[in-house]
């Protein structure tokens, strides 16, 4: 684990730096009184639901003296980097000391790291689950120890977490399959590449299936489920799909990593003008592929920086003795060539307010 006190932005080299100066566009939100918290959340486009978490008593500590732990399921790829930076920046701006661990998608390792955080007795613990079901006992050990738990981009099963901020996972899968149906005129052959290892991410596949059921003209000709410990890569899986289905029209992917690898496979097969592919997550790499005119035609841009940033905001609110929403649904933006053609690739689109500056419209 690494310890961070007002950390810098480099996700690979955590270090202590001087207190960051707050940007005017976000300062009002971060320093708002508790009575304005809900209105501030709505200003960012997030939606609250599921009741409120109310602290037993007000926290007497100065915000700068608060100790936070972050048990992150991963920090790799655009998604992990954006969430990591959201936690780091928010703690730097709002106050406190942050200790970070990275499980590298390994739920057993993450459970052990959560136990290590518990032993350090933080004032609050942030968790992005590698596998929410597998780490549920560890989350319960944290809540049983009296540590408020704030979850990023997932929903805990069982333990009484304090707050979660997450995307509409089902809706993202549904949206991208509906996009395929529209592009194909409601008829065509489609394949799917799923991510079932994490129950939350698997909701994307449930959304995909719901959309498929409404489009009987789409023929589901192939399906492949990614396994973290498996020997087959998404690139190899798409290669196999293309070989077995030479007349396929579209490939739905549960995440951008598979969509990018799939786009490479489609290009290598000489089918870039025949097959479209879709992704979910949003980030610089996927945006570059979309803007370049590859077969990757859409990704769902999750506000992952905002997810972790809001976790920190609500932790501060809760520790100051204020009620916070149990569940917050963060904004998701559909990103196609039209959103990118006239601008530089925006790697900061998921910072509070930035998507609105770009003129992007929330879909979920």
Q: What percent of the chain has pLDDT over 90?
A: 75
Query: Distance between CA atoms of 227 and 79, rounded to whole angstroms?
Result: 18
The rounded mean pLDDT for the chain is: 86
3 state DSSP class of 13: coil
CATH homologous superfamily of domain 2-167+303-330? Response regulator (3.40.50.2300)
Query: Distance between CA atoms of 330 and 153, rounded to whole angstroms?
Result: 9
Going from N- to C-terminal start, the domains of the chain cover 2-167+303-330, 169-302+336-358
Contacts of 137 (CB under 8 A, 6+ apart): 111
- pLDDT band for position 12 (cuts 50, 70, 90): very low
- pLDDT band for position 28 (cuts 50, 70, 90): very low
- pLDDT band for position 197 (cuts 50, 70, 90): confident
Residue 30 near residue 40 (C-beta atoms within 8 A): no
**What would the mean pLDDT of 332-343 be, rounded to a whole number?**
96
Start-to-end Cα distance in the chain: 34
The pTM of the full predicted model, rounded to 2 decimals, is 0.82
Give the side-chain half-sphere CA count within 13 A for 307.
30
- pLDDT band for position 81 (cuts 50, 70, 90): very high
To which residue do tokens 């926290």 refer? 59
Q: What is the pLDDT of residue 53?
A: 62
Of 12-16, 113-117, 189-193, 205-209, give the lowest mean pLDDT range: 12-16
Bigger pLDDT: 275 vs 56: 275
Q: What percent of the chain has pLDDT over 70?
A: 83
Q: For the segment 245-297, what is each residue's pLDDT rounded down to a tens digit?
A: 999 999 999 999 999 999 999 999 999 999 999 999 999 999 999 999 999 99
Q: For the segment 115-167, what is each residue's pLDDT rounded down to a tens digit?
A: 999 999 999 999 999 998 899 999 999 999 999 999 998 887 776 789 999 99
Q: What is the pLDDT of residue 230?
A: 84
**Strongest mean pLDDT among 2-11, 58-67, 165-174:** 165-174
Whether residue 41 is predicted with pLDDT greater than 80 in this model: the reply is: no
CATH class of 169-302+336-358: alpha beta
Do the domains 2-167+303-330 and 169-302+336-358 sit in the same CATH topology, yes or no?
A: yes
301 phi, psi to nearest 5 deg: -80, 105
């Amino acid at each position: 684990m690494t310890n961070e006190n007002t950390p810098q932005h480099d996700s690979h080299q955590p270090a202590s730096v001087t207190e960051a100066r707050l940007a005017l566009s976000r300062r009002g939100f971060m320093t708002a009184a508790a009575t304005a918290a809900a209105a501030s959340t709505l200003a960012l486009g997030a939606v609250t639901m599921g009741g409120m978490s109310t602290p037993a008593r007000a926290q007497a500590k100065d915000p700068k003296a608060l100790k936070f732990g972050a048990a992150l399921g991963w920090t790799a790829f655009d998604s992990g980097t954006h969430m990591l930076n959201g936690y780091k920046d928010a703690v730097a701006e709002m106050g406190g000391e942050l200790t970070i661990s990275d499980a590298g998608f390994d739920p057993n390792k993450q459970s052990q790291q959560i136990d290590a955080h518990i032993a350090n007795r933080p004032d609050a613990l942030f968790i992005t689950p590698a596998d929410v079901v597998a780490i549920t006992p560890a989350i319960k050990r944290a809540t049983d120890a009296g540590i408020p738990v704030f979850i990023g981009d997932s929903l805990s099963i069982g333990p009484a977490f304090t707050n979660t901020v997450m995307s509409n996972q089902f809706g993202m899968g549904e949206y991208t399959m509906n996009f395929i149906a529209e592009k194909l005129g409601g008829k065509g052959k489609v394949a799917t590449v799923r991510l079932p290892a994490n129950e939350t991410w698997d909701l994307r596949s449930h959304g995909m299936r719901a959309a498929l059921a409404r489009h009987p003209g789409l023929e589901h000709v192939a399906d492949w489920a990614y396994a973290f410990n498996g020997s087959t890569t998404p690139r190899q899986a798409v290669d196999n799909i293309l070989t077995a289905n030479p007349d396929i029209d579209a490939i739905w992917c549960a995440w951008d990593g598979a969509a990018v690898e799939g786009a490479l496979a489609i290009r290598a097969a000489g089918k870039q003008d025949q097959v479209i592919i879709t992704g979910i997550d949003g980030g610089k790499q996927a945006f570059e592929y979309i803007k370049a005119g590859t077969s990757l035609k859409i990704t769902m841009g999750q506000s992952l920086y905002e997810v972790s940033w809001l976790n920190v905001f609500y932790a501060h609110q809760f520790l100051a003795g204020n009620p916070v929403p149990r569940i917050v649904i963060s904004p998701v933006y559909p990103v196609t060539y039209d959103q990118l053609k006239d601008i530089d690739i925006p790697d900061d689109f998921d910072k509070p307010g930035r998507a609105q500056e770009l003129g992007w419209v929330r879909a979920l």
